Amino acid sequence: MKQCSTSLRPLAASALAALLAGPAIAAEGNWRVGRIHYRMVCTACHVETTGESIAPSTRTKAEWTKYLAADQHAANGQANPSLRYYVSQEYRASIKDTNKAAAKFIDMPDEEMFANLAAFVIHGAQDSDTPAGCQ
Ligand code: HEC
């Protein structure tokens, strides 16, 4: 099985990938930056709190698109109800001392990081060409 990498890669602005991204919600997002946030911020907490990661490939593009638009993070109240909160500068600032990805992207506006995250989950969705099963 492929190893999960949590290393910070050099950030090449992926203009072509953005142009080819398809769904409007992912159109301006840089999925490589979204992947870093997803793996190092979202997944880190999922593993810590639930013992399991939630792979982008567990949902289809349509399911992710609906999930992102709803902005309801999780139903059972164990975590903040807003998905956007976990993408926000406010949340990144709150964990930056112990989370390298949050610290690295501390100046990135909320909307830009949300677009990056959206681009990554769509890029890695079950019915994409590149399902991200790892983290
Ligand atoms: C502080 C901890 C924490 C962070 C950060 C976090 N989550 Fe979660 N997430 C949880 C917990 C706990 C659950 C499962 C419990 C529940 O169902 O409420 C969950 C559940 C989920 C689910 C499943 C929801 C469902 O109803 O099926 C998705 C999808 C999800 N998170 C996405 C994300 C994404 C994307 C991010 C980052 C932008 C993120 N989470 C950040 C704690 C976190």
- Mind listing the pLDDT tens digit for each residue in 123-135? 999 999 999 986 4
What pLDDT is attached to residue 129? 94
**CA 2 to centroid of ligand 1, rounded, Å:** 23
Task: List pocket residues of ligand 1, CB cut-off 6 Å.
Answer: 41-42, 45-46, 49-50, 54, 73-76, 78-79, 83, 86-87, 117
Query: Over 70: is that where the pLDDT of 42 sits?
Result: yes
- Quick: pLDDT tens for 86-123: 999 999 999 999 999 999 999 999 999 999 999 999 99
| 111 vs 79: CA distance, rounded Å | 21
Overall average pLDDT of the 75-86 stretch: 84
Give CA separation, 97 vs 16, 83, 100, 108, in Å: 34, 21, 8, 16
What pLDDT is attached to residue 110? 96
What pLDDT is attached to residue 115? 97
**CA 82 to centroid of ligand 1, rounded, Å:** 9
What pLDDT is attached to residue 27? 54
Q: Which of 22-31, 39-48, 110-119 has the lowest mean pLDDT?
A: 22-31
Q: Ligand 1: which of 36, 45, 73, 83 to mutate, judged by most atoms within 8 Å of the beta carbon?
A: 73
What pLDDT is attached to residue 10? 41
In this structure, what token pair is assigned to residue 19? 């142009």
